[in-house]
Structure 1
Amino acid sequence: MNPQLKSYIPIIDFLSLILGNDTEIVLQDFTKGLDHSLVYIKNNLSEREIGAPATDFVLDVLKSKLYKEKDYVVNYHTKTVSGRELYSSSFFIKNEQEQLLGMLCINSDKSKLLSLKRLFESSLETIDSLFQTEETNSSTKDITENFYSTPENLIEATILQETQGLSLGTYNLTKNEKIAIVRSLYQKGFFELKDSVSKIAETFRMSDVSIYKYIQTVRQEKQD
């Protein structure tokens, strides 16, 4: 084996451990001919042995002198004798005179990743189809629902909404803000609940009568 090429063996061993068993790494030596150019291989996927001849891709590279224009070629398709498809990349190893001494080739089996990709895409299509069906069949697109455990929860949530997050513990509501909260609760049907007026009156620290006046104001708005 050419000494310059031999120095690549530790790199190949290193890469084979990092890239794993689904990636084959091959060292080709062209300095003693093309009939037995394969001189080192790790994670064998192509079913070749040391001493195997150069591939048709190598012959094309030599004929076209592609190695004079580029230092490497990446992500081209290759096929093994048994028909296994791989993704390949080759690094051209040259001397100081730009003569091609050999190649370091990486051949990856991405079938597992492609299967996972297809499964993922199929799952996304199913999910998209489900949501599209729900949206098409829905006649209540503008309806939202929030769950509250007590009427007090609904009051608190409405106050936070109308005051943009301000707490009554640190903020005194104006009359208009109180009416806005009553209006929102009225629209939600809150005052259909038992003792609803007393609960909001207690929250506002007002009398029930004052709350009834606010409700009357809101009702009058709807009539106007």
Structure 2
Amino acid sequence: MNLQLKSYIPLIDFLAVVLGKDTEIVLQDFTDGLDHSVVYIKNNLSGRDAGAPATDFVLDVFKSKIYKEKDYLVNYRTKTIAGKELFSSSYFIKDEDEKLLGMICINSDKSKLLALRQLFVASIESLDQALMIDSPSTESQTEPIIENFYSTAENLIEASIIQETQGKDLNKYNLTRLEKISIVRSLYQKGFFDLKDAVSKVAEAFRMSEVSIYKYIQTVKQED
């Protein structure tokens, strides 16, 4: 683990105690690649362990270089391996040259508070009806999920392929060349090919050679 990042472990332990068991604190180290970036985790809610890969959100952070403009991002939605939605925030750890070394990610389960809020809203509506007070309609609004947690890099790549093929079983469905290029384009734009063995995993899913996948990547790069 990078020594600068290791110095944040006491802070993570402190936050884990202060924020409680419904809040997960994760330290990610990008100095040795993205395939095993999770190096420390407390109050595990996401189902990951140390050695888990970077998420789709992290890849997008690197692609967009938003860390050069901001020091942190707060209150975005994430989803665990088990499908539970969390409220998340991330702090960017950078060196003196603004290179992104790692991140501290805070993922909170606010389901109990949301349930309490729904109960409160329902109570207010009942009171309004009893008092014959017109109340504005309240429609449930949910924030889009912008990060999904995966336990391995293989899971991340497989999930991305499923998403891009709308859930088609590639063992039964033969993709056209245009569909394959479209999937490779989407994966490339998200930065998935920065992951180790990404090309070989896509080649395996497509039942093609790695050389063919590299040709598709070159085709996509020429579009830029």
TM-score scaled by structure 2?
0.59
Partner SS state of residue 131, structure 2: helix
Q: CA deviation at 1:127?
A: 1.1
Shift of 1:81: 1.2
Q: Which has the higher helix share?
A: 1
In the alignment, the residues of structure 2 paired with residue 4 and residue 130 of structure 1 have an alpha-carbon distance, to the nearest angstrom, of 60
Alpha-carbon distance in structure 2 between the residues aligned to 1:61 and 1:79: 17
* Runs of 5+ unmatched residues, structure 1: 134-224
Deviation at 1:7, TM superposition (A): 0.8
Partner SS state of residue 34, structure 2: coil
Structure 2 residue 4 is matched with structure 1 residue 4? yes
Query: Residues 176-204 of structure 1: CA distance to partner in whole angstroms, max 9, x if unpaired?
Result: xxxxxxxxxxxxxxxxxxxxxxxxxxxxx
Number of the residue aligned with 1:44: 44
The one-letter amino acid paired with 1:56 is D
SS at match of 2:54: coil
Q: Deviations over 1:52-103 (max 9, x none)?
A: 0000000000011010010000000000111110010000000001000000
The SS at the match of 1:105 is: strand
Cα distance in 2 for residues equivalent to 1:57 and 1:117:
28
Q: Within 2, Cα distance between the matches of 1:131 and 1:61? A: 50
TM-fit CA distance, 1:113:
0.3
Q: Secondary structure at the match of 2:91?
A: strand
Give the alignment of 1:94-113 within 5 angstroms. 94-113=94-113
Identity %: 72
Partner of 1:57: 57
Instruction: Extract unaligned runs of 5+ from structure 2.
Output: 134-224
1:128 is displaced (CA, Å) by 1.5
Distance in structure 2 (CA, Å) of the matches to 1:2 and 1:30: 9
Q: How far apart are the structure 2 equivalents of 1:80 and 1:16?
A: 18
Query: Which amino acid in structure 2 is aligned with residue 10 of structure 1?
Result: P
Q: Distance in 2 between matches of 1:11 and 1:125?
A: 43
The separation in 2 between residues aligned to 1:94 and 1:77, in whole angstroms, is 23
CA distance in 2, matches of 1:93, 1:15: 16
Aligned length: 133
Counterpart of 1:147 in structure 2 is none
Larger Rg: 1
CA distance in 2, matches of 1:132, 1:63: 54
CA distance in 1, matches of 2:80, 2:13: 22
Residue 75 of structure 2: SS of its match in structure 1?
strand
2:26 paired with 1:30: no
Cα distance in 1 between the residues matched to 2:32 and 2:127: 58
User: Does 1 or 2 have the higher relative contact order (CA < 8 Å, sep 6+)?
Assistant: 2
Specify the code of the residue in structure 2 equivalent to 1:74: V
The 5 Å alignment of 1:197-212 reads none
Deviations 1:10-30 (A, max 9, x none): 110101111111100000000
